[in-house]
Amino acid sequence: MNLGNTKGFTLIELMIVVAIIAILAAIAYPSYTQYKQKVSRAEVKAEMMIIAGDLQKYKAVKGGYLINNTPMTLADLGRSMTVKYPSQGTVFYEMTLENVTRNGWTLVATPQNSQSSTGMVALNHRGEKCWVKGAAVCSLSSTSSWDE
C-alpha cells in the first residue's frame, strides 16, 4: 500500500489542533470576562459622576436635598427610582440614592448578573468613593477610592 500521494491531515494532527485551541480558550475566556467586568464598572462610575453633577445642580436650585422635609429621590432628577445600568439589555448595576439628608447623599451601585461578584460601588456628596473587590458593603471615607 502506497501512502505517498495521500493528502490531508491525520486524526492525531487534528486532535493536537483541537487541544491547542481548547488550551487557548481556557486561558483567554477568563481574561475576557474580567475585562468586560472592568469596563462595565468603569462605565457605571462615569454614570455615577454624571448623576452626582445633577444632584449638585439640584441642591444649587432647591437649596438642599430635602423637599418639605422629605428626602429627594432619583425620580426628582427625571430618572427612575432605581437606575439600571445599562438601561437596555442585561443589567450589570442598579443605582440607588441612599442616606439623603438636607446636605448629603450616598449613591450606591449594586452589581447584578455577571457583575454580582465584583463588589458594590459607592459615591457620596463629599466626593468620597468606594469600591472593594467582591465586597457587598463599602465604607466611604477620605481614604477610600475606586482604585483596584
Domain residue limits, the chain: 11-131
> Does residue 13 register a pLDDT over 70?
yes
pTM, entire model: 0.78
| DSSP run (H or E) holding 126 | none
Distance between CA atoms of 107 and 111, rounded to whole angstroms? 13
pLDDT digits (tens, 9 = 90+) for 59-93: 999 999 998 889 998 998 888 888 887 778 888 88
Q: What is the mean pLDDT of residues 14-40?
A: 90
Please tell me the predicted confidence (pLDDT) of residue 4. Answer: 62
Q: What is the mean pLDDT of residues 33-40?
A: 86
* Percent of the chain whose pLDDT exceeds 90: 42
More confident residue, 99 or 82: 99
Please tell me the predicted confidence (pLDDT) of residue 7. Answer: 78
